[in-house]
Structure 1
Amino acid sequence: MSKRQDPPVRPADDGGGRRARTVSRLWSRALATAAGTFVFGCLYFFVRQSVKEGVWYFDLTLVNKALGTTSLVMIALSMALTGIAFFAGRGSRLLTFRRHHGLVGFWIGLAHGAVNHLVLPATGLRPEEKAETLPADATGLAALVIFGFLAIISLAEVKGFIGGQAWRRILRYGGYAGLVLATAHAALLKWGSWENFVRTFDPAMPSLSLPAALIAAAAVLLRLAMALAMRRRARG
């Protein structure tokens, strides 16, 4: 007579594996969004160069422009998700994407700065040089410093050290300050191009930094609208 075999005992799932998979998905989506934005930016600047100058060519200067645009878009999306979640009633689901989109945007911003100031000069290519280059570099550097600080602050260990309320306040105000500086960096470099497009629509394709800056401005306005809505709710 054969003995009855008990089913194998499975180790209890402590949630660690599930959490790791969730974090992996968040990173994957942020990286996929950044990759799609970057590829679109490269193609857009490539075509725009032909429309603007009548010549088809692709070099690292276009890659650098796509990096800068992608960084601004990713950080703006990260900041806009708070207001979108609030008004769309999606709760914490959308909020989980903020940190990963913001960090990816920061890393791409670092790459943009490195390519602009190190790689392009080393290869004999010249980044855009205008009278506003120095203040543009200053605002860009200030934005990177702020976002680098926020990247450290975003760690869970730091949150436990400084307290949740102060942690959220630092990330909120620091994030919007950095976003404003990053947008100012783009505006100082490209304001003439933006103004020319609005007046003449020539060339037919605007610099991609213009819609990127509009996305950033929308993120700030969305946050202001959210603050007003919360104040009205508090007053009843």
Structure 2
Amino acid sequence: MATGTFAEKHNKITAKITQPNDNRYWVNTILFSFVLVFLLAAYQTVKGIRLDVYQLNIVFSFTGMYLIGLSFALSGLTYFWNFVDTKVVYRKYLGLVGFYYVFSHSLFSLVNYLLIPSAPQPSFDLEYNWRVGEMLISNSWAFLSALASLGIFAYMTIISNKYSMLELGGLMWRKQLRYLGYFAYALIVIHFGLKRFNVWTNWLSEPNGLPPHSLILMVFVILVFVLRIALYFHQKRKKSI
């Protein structure tokens, strides 16, 4: 269990890493992402879903969501559980590789949205309406939330370097990465939540076979936010003692 502030904890962790190896972190993160792609593709295949280019695009988006979520979660995981301490150095790499997967998904989707009016998926029709309970919500909201999220993550990618940290100041730099990051992550939830809500409720009301992987991803996302909230209140309680 953690003691002290997160900054103190982080300094102790980084002090353990005597020989940081940037190339090794990149390679390990990319290889880990390949494993995720394989597992997600295998899951979809086991569910009987044909793995075409559209499904691969979804797999890429899920992979990006998991990587970005793990990047966020490492702060809480290393704070509460010492056995993952040295993995905190992977936050940057998980976040950046996750963004590249999300960006590739976005490029493919943007082409279908704007350049292929006969794209075979309602996901790419801005005039399509998604049913969420008793409401019908325009697909344009899903599109705009994804666009805003992509813009925020692109900005975060641009400032993920020592030069930006020095220019903005360490405290402001960390705050921007944290708060903008979680806000962008929530926007992605709106993006895929609107599209998958009906699928989730149908499966939850009549479970049949494996759950939609988007539902598993949603549970993961909730846990990421819960961990961040737990970290916030734990630090706040320690300050008041």
Name 1:70's counterpart in structure 2. Answer: 63
Letter in 1 for 2:87: L
In structure 2, distance between residues paired with 1:206 and 1:169: 36
The CA distance in 1 between the partners of 2:174 and 2:23, in whole Å, is 23
The 3-state SS of whatever aligns with 1:201 is coil
Counterpart of 1:26 in structure 2 is 25
- 8 Å contact kept, 1:150–1:171: yes
Which range moves more in the overlay, 130-139 or 211-220?
A: 130-139
Of 170-179 and 211-220, more deviation after overlay is shown by 211-220
What does residue 152 of structure 2 align with?
146
Structure 1 counterpart of 2:167: 161
TM-score by length of 1: 0.82
TM-score normalised by structure 2 residue count? 0.80
Deviation at 1:137, TM superposition (A): 1.1
Deviation at 1:91, TM superposition (A): 7.7
Gaps of 5+ in 1: 1-17, 51-56
- Alignment partners' CA distance in 2, 1:216 and 1:154: 22
CA radius of gyration, larger in: 1
Aligned ranges 1:179-190 → 2 under 5 Å: 179-190=185-196
Distance 1:117 1:48 in 2: 27
CA contact (8 A) 2:37 2:60 kept: yes
Which residue of structure 2 aligns with residue 42 of structure 1? 41
Deviations 1:121-166 (A, max 9, x none): 76x7523434142111111111111100001111111001111011
Number of residue pairs aligned between Structure 1 and Structure 2 = 210
Residue 199 of structure 2 is matched in structure 1 by 193
SS in 2 for 1:233: helix
CA-based RMSD of the aligned residues comes to 2.1
Query: Any stretches of 5+ residues in structure 2 without a counterpart?
Result: 1-18, 131-138
Structure 2 match to 1:231: 236
Which residue in 2 is equivalent to 1:175? 181
The equivalent residue for 1:214 is 219
Report the identity percentage. Answer: 24
CA contact (8 A) 2:63 2:98 kept: yes
